[in-house]
């Protein structure tokens, strides 16, 4: 099974609304920052798909989480990874991971765009292996603990508490009992939002994603108030490079501290887990790849830390890979469901991935169990040129 071609497709798809809600006034069509958060966001859904073909006519698909600058990740795939893969045996997934991760390793590139590109290629190789063997990816990963992956509704992306409450009521009416709020607007404001949404239903479990917005003092104040409220978890409370402060925070709180979307390899996760800087592990398969994600899952298991895979703006390939990963996790509270992303995610597939508010059925077909609409991808790719 010789690999004959590897191709990256940087895509930019318009959605009914931007991820996490409308852009700030005056943002225009370019990238923007949502104060007080620091990261760039796009008004569209941007990503990179990767296609790997073999001499026997099989194709595997992968995807990188590339919410801004997808052409950068695509260039890494096309210029650095593809030449090393052409002619290789597609069945040797782990040896290929070792080889590819070493190409820029001593230059500090086990992270960032290099890692994202490698994640997309790795997912494509697992999808390819599943298609050549007729087996689902979750089975190839060692077996599925479940055929239905539970989810939580992420974001409630509305500008006011009244609107968030109304949206929460709509989800509760559909049976949802777990939500995560996209906050980080100040301790008092976040607690007011939490209280308003939690009051919607007595069984509603509410988490807060603080988007790395707080210093340790305010994170402690927020976390202790969440302890009193028996909150579900507190995600990304401090700047992502400060492992020590997260360790202090996690030790001081009952509310679990959730971390993972900014990390890309087992070495990063090992430090956080060993130092007890996180209580809930959130790897994103479109940043780690499936090979590395399973290493992270085993590290978390060795530290008795549950795994709730992250998912944000990834399209159908990343979503399917995340579902297969979640199926293969023993201690899984839930998988992240992005209501605004799902319709866009399905636009690159010939048949949609169904589910969401109450969970996803694990796709049962070979590989990732999805079929990429090549014509749709080619057309979307042309729009970028």
Q: Report the CATH number at residue 242.
A: 3.20.20.120
Whether 165 and 119 map to the same domain: the answer is: no
Residue 368 lies in a domain: no
Q: How many folded domains does the chain comprise?
A: 2
Residue 74 falls within a domain, yes or no? yes
One domain for residues 127 and 168: no
Q: Say whether both 22 and 57 belong to one domain.
A: yes
- Does the residue 287 lie in any domain? yes
Is the residue at 181 inside a domain? yes
d(CA 339, CA 153): 7
User: Is 170 inside any structural domain?
Assistant: yes
| Of the listed ranges 290-304, 317-331, 334-348, 369-383, the one predicted with least confidence | 369-383
Q: Has 304 been annotated as catalytic?
A: no
Residue 25 pLDDT: 85
- Within-domain flag for 366: no
DSSP string for 51-88: EEEETTS-EEEEEE--SS-HHHHHHHIIIIIHHHHTTS
For the chain, how many residues are written?
385
Domain of residue 70, CATH code: 3.30.390.10
Domain that holds residue 379: 3-137+373-383
* 317/333 Cα distance (integer angstroms): 22
For 103-152, what is each residue's pLDDT tens digit?
999 998 999 999 999 999 999 999 999 999 999 999 999 999 999 999 99
Higher pLDDT, 382 or 263: 263
Q: Are 36 and 185 in contact (CB under 8 A)?
A: yes
**What's the whole-number mean pLDDT along residues 342-370?**
95
Give the mean model confidence (pLDDT) for residues 217-230: 98
Residues 341 and 309 in one domain: yes
Q: For residue 352, which of 361, 360, 343 has the smallest C-alpha distance? A: 343
153 within some domain: yes
203 plus 351 within the same structural domain: yes
Does 354 have pLDDT greater than 90?
A: no
Give 63-114 pLDDT, tens digit per residue: 999 999 999 999 999 999 999 999 999 999 999 999 999 999 999 899 999 9
Mean pLDDT of 330-352: 96
What proportion of the chain, given as a percentage, has pLDDT over 90?
93
Query: Which residues touch 297 (CB under 8 Å, ≥6 apart)?
Result: 281, 283, 307, 325, 328, 329
- Could you say which of 178, 246, 310, 311 is catalytic? 310
| Co-location of 181 and 92 in the same domain | no
Query: Same domain for 161 and 238?
Result: yes
- Quickly state the pLDDT bin for 382 (edges 50, 70, 90): low
pLDDT of residue 128: 98
The mean pLDDT value for 234-240 works out to 98
Same domain, 152 and 285: yes
Question: Taking a C-beta distance cutoff of 8 angstroms, is the pair 234, 223 a contact?
Answer: yes
Q: pLDDT tens-digit profile of 201-223?
A: 999 999 999 999 999 999 999 99
pLDDT band, residue 16 (cuts 50/70/90): confident
Same domain, 95 and 155: no
Examine residue 328 and state whether it is found in any structural domain, yes or no: yes
Same domain, 99 and 35: yes
Binned at pLDDT 50, 70 and 90, residue 9 comes out as very high
Average pLDDT for 374-382: 88
Is there a single domain that holds both residue 129 and residue 151?
no
Encode pLDDT of 42-54 as tens digits.
999 999 999 999 9
pLDDT over 70, % of the chain: 99
Each residue's pLDDT tens digit, 171-204:
999 999 999 999 999 999 999 999 999 999 999 9
Whether residue 165 sits in one domain with residue 72:
no
């Amino acid at each position: 099974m010789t690999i004959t071609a590897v191709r990256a497709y940087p895509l930019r798809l318009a959605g009914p609304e931007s991820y996490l809600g409308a852009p700030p006034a005056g943002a225009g069509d370019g990238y923007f920052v949502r104060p007080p958060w620091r990261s760039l966001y796009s008004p569209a859904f941007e990503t990179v798909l990767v296609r790997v073909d073999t001499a026997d006519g099989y194709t595997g698909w992968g995807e990188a989480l590339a919410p801004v600058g997808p052409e950068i990740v695509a260039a890494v795939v096309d210029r650095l990874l593809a030449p090393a893969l052409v002619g290789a045996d597609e069945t040797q997934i782990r040896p290929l991971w070792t080889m590819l991760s070493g190409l820029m390793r001593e230059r500090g590139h086990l992270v960032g765009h290099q890692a994202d590109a490698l994640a997309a290629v790795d997912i494509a190789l697992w999808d390819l292996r599943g298609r050549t063997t007729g087996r689902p990816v979750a089975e190839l990963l060692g077996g599925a603990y479940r055929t239905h992956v539970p989810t939580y509704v992420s974001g409630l992306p509305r500008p006011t508490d009244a609107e968030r409450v109304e949206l929460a009521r709509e989800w509760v009416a559909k049976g949802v009992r777990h939500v995560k709020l996209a906050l980080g607007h100040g301790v008092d404001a976040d607690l007011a939002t939490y209280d308003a949404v939690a009051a919607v239903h007595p069984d509603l479990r509410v988490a807060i994603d603080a988007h790395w917005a707080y210093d340790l003092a305010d994170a402690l104040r927020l976390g202790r108030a969440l302890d009193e409220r028996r909150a579900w978890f507190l995600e990304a409370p401090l700047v992502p490079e400060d492992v020590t402060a997260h360790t202090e925070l996690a030790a001081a709180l009952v509310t679990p501290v959730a971390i993972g979307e900014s990390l890309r390899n087992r070495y990063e996760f090992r430090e956080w887990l060993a130092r007890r800087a996180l209580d809930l592990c959130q790897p994103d398969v479109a940043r780690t790849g499936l090979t590395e994600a399973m290493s992270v899952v085993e590290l978390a298991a060795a530290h008795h830390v549950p795994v709730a895979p992250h998912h944000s703006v990834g399209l159908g390939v990343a979503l399917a890979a995340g579902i297969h990963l979640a199926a293969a996790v023993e201690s899984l509270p839930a998988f992240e469901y992005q209501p605004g992303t799902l319709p866009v995610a399905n636009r690159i597939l010939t048949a949609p991935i169904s589910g969401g508010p109450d969970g996803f059925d694990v796709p049962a077909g070979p590989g990732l169990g999805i079929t990429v609409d090549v014509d749709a991808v080619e057309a979307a790719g042309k729009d970028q040129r």
